């Protein structure tokens, strides 16, 4: 059986979909599993032991090119070559976990006889349901998006699957992060709390002043050291939080996805908004505290028994008080120590 998994982006969403590949690999060890993913998220899936092949696509580039002179012709050529490659794989089953029109088109390109997706009422774009021929409505108990993704396996005879995340260890990245932590005097027994102030959308960002207060109090009241993570165009926020905290705060180095994964494995707790790094930390087993305002913690929070999501009382990130986050972070630190 040849199966195509279509989950293009973003990083956190691709991480939430990993248990689908693991469940398929365990239940159908002889199946040939292919994942179609955006080029930017490809690094997470390359050489993944649960997958036989990963096909990267770059719809972000297509959207930029199409507005340039002769760009439409170039995009059409890229789409045609992708369609030929995907159709040539001769898939038997396609799983559309994205629920968008563009993922629906890719699902249709597979030519699979069984194309499974969400019912129109559960698609992010209702027209997606036109491209699939087996529609699944997640059961009421599937509250979290991880559980909703797994519900798409029911037509394949896989019901009540326990979510299992697996991210391969990259030895070179592990060594590099061990060296970095050692250079800053950080030992495995230290209470190291990672803070990630960035987010893909501004309304998902907890105020820098709130992070600053949390960092100060984690050091003073919980005896923790703080690791400040940052991504493109986010270093200034990490520096603002670190200023004046002395050796209690450590600015993370520039990292690729492998190094970030290795760094998160070594943290006692991770605190962040609804971001890819938060879900990456939860997937490698680090206790996580997710801060949620406009998005729902119960659906999108860090998944697993060692993590929890805090929902803002007024739907804004600023409405989450640092004292509330501190109490929750201290609770996770205490659980990790026990």
CB 207 within 8 A of CB 315: no
Give the residue-averaged pLDDT of 93-114.
97
Other CB atoms within a 10 A radius of the CB of residue 120 amount to: 16
The domain 171-337 is classified under which CATH number: 3.30.70.260, 1.10.10.10, 3.40.50.1000, 3.40.50.2000? 3.40.50.2000
The secondary structure of residue 321, as a DSSP letter, is -
Could you please report the per-residue DSSP string of 181-225?
A: HHHTT--TTS-EEEEE---SSGGGPPPHHHHHHHHHHHHHHH--E
CA 175/CA 168 separation, integer angstroms:
14
Which residue, 40, 9, 6, 37, is CA-closest to 109?
6
CA 311/CA 291 separation, integer angstroms:
7
**What is the structure's pLDDT at 64?**
84
Other CB atoms within a 10 A radius of the CB of residue 146 amount to: 23
CA 9/CA 1 separation, integer angstroms:
25
**What is the structure's pLDDT at 184?**
95
Does the structure show a pLDDT above 90 at 337? no
Query: pLDDT tens, 179-235?
Result: 999 999 999 889 999 999 999 899 999 999 999 999 999 999 999 999 999 998 999
Does the structure show a pLDDT above 80 at 261? yes
Domain ranges, ordered by start, for the chain: 2-156, 171-337
Whole-prediction pTM: 0.95
Does the structure show a pLDDT above 90 at 247? no
Which residue, 96, 213, 87, is CA-closest to 155?
96
CB 270 within 8 A of CB 277: yes
CA 300/CA 293 separation, integer angstroms:
11
Does the structure show a pLDDT above 80 at 283? yes
CATH superfamily assigned to domain 2-156: Glycogen Phosphorylase B; (3.40.50.2000)
Query: pLDDT tens, 23-52?
Result: 999 999 999 999 999 999 999 999 999 999
Task: Using DSSP bridges, classify how beta strands 93-96 and 53-57 pair: parallel, antiparallel or unpaired.
Answer: unpaired
**What is the structure's pLDDT at 262?**
98
Same fold, 2-156 and 171-337: yes
Q: 147-167 burial, b for 16+ CB within 10 Å, e for fewer?
A: bbbbbbbbebebeebebebeb
**Using N-to-C axis directions, what is the helix angle for 171-183 and 257-265, rounded to 10°?**
60
Binning pLDDT at 50, 70 and 90, where does residue 265 land? Answer: very high
Give the residue-averaged pLDDT of 6-19.
97
Does the structure show a pLDDT above 90 at 237? yes
Identify the residue with better confidence: 125 or 232.
125
The secondary structure of residue 293, as a DSSP letter, is S
**What is the structure's pLDDT at 285?**
96
How many CA atoms within 13 Å lie on the side-chain side of 248?
19
Does the structure show a pLDDT above 70 at 338? no
Q: To 5 degrees, how large is the angle CA 237–CA 206–CA 307? A: 110
């Amino acid at each position: 059986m040849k199966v195509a998994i279509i989950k293009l982006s973003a990083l956190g969403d691709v991480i939430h979909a990993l248990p689908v590949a693991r469940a398929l690999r365990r239940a159908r060890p002889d199946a040939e599993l292919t994942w179609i993913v955006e080029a930017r998220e490809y690094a997470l899936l390359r050489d993944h032991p649960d997958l036989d092949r990963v096909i990267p696509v770059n719809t972000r580039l297509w959207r930029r090119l199409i507005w340039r002179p002769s760009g439409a012709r170039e995009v059409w050529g890229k789409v045609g070559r992708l369609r030929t490659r995907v159709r040539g794989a001769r898939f038997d089953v396609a799983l559309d976990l994205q629920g968008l029109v563009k993922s629906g088109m890719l699902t249709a390109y597979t030519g699979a006889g069984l194309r499974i997706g969400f019912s129109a009422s559960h698609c992010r774009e209702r027209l997606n349901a036109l491209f699939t021929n087996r529609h699944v409505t997640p059961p009421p108990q599937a509250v979290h998006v991880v559980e909703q993704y797994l519900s798409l396996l029911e037509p394949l005879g896989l019901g009540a699957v326990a979510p299992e995340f697996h991210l391969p260890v990259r030895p070179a990245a592990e060594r590099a992060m061990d060296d970095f932590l050692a250079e800053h005097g950080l030992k495995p027994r230290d209470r190291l709390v990672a803070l990630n102030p960035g987010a893909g959308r501004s309304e998902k960002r907890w105020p820098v002043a709130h992070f600053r207060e949390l960092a100060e109090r984690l050091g003073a009241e919980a005896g923790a050291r703080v690791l400040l993570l940052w991504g493109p165009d986010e270093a200034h926020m990490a520096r603002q939080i670190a200023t004046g905290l002395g050796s209690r705060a450590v600015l993370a180095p520039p990292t690729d996805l492998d190094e970030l994964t290795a760094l998160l494995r070594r943290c006692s707790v991770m605190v962040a908004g609804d971001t890819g790094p938060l879900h990456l930390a939860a997937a490698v087993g680090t206790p996580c505290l997710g801060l949620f305002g406009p998005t729902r913690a119960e659906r999108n929070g860090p998944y697993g028994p060692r993590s929890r999501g805090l929902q803002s009382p007024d739907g804004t990130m600023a409405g989450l008080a640092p004292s509330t986050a501190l109490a929750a972070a201290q609770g996770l630190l205490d659980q990790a120590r026990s």
